[in-house]
Amino acid sequence: MTLMASREQSVVISLGELHVTNDPDTLLVCYGIGSCVAFAAFDPVAKVAGMAHFVLPDSTSGNRPKTLERFVDAGIPIMLTRLQTLGATPARTVFRMAGGAHMAVAKGFEARLNIGERNVEAARATMKALGLRLRGEDVGGTHGRTVRLLSGSGALTISTVGGSSYEL
């Protein structure tokens, strides 16, 4: 399957960003997902898509800058609101996520914090609290991923470091 036709435009979602669209010619892309989580949504009736690049699980701890889109627990509700603004209905929206890997950062640092696993747990807990369910996930492991969501069809492709590519 080709994810890009000549008229399509790519929107790269960087760390802590999210983007929603009802333009069927937009390809949403998260590059280099390690312990972060790429969180994708698609309403097949309204043809509304969104993707976020969540960095941390919990917006309530620490003295970090409070760009709420960076955090799983705050970012998912923000994304849901933006999707609904464009006509999406949560009950029919397909939610998927990828990432949450155990990356070797500084020796022992990631092992103590377990950020990838905590991001995945936060996404699952937030979805459950909102009464929604994930349709698919590719999480954990020790490899990075690039995630692409074609907004017109909801096709989600994951590419891993080392070259394999598959749909979720």
> What positions carry a catalytic annotation?
36
Contacts of 109 (CB under 8 A, 6+ apart): none
**Bridge-based pairing state of the strands 37-43 and 145-150:** unpaired
Q: Give the span between the Cα atoms of 162 and 58, in whole angstroms.
A: 31
Neighbours of 44 (CB within 10 A): 13
Contacts of 113 (CB under 8 A, 6+ apart): none
Q: Give the span between the Cα atoms of 51 and 35, in whole angstroms.
A: 16
Which of 92, 96, 166, 91 has the alpha carbon at shortest distance from 136? 96
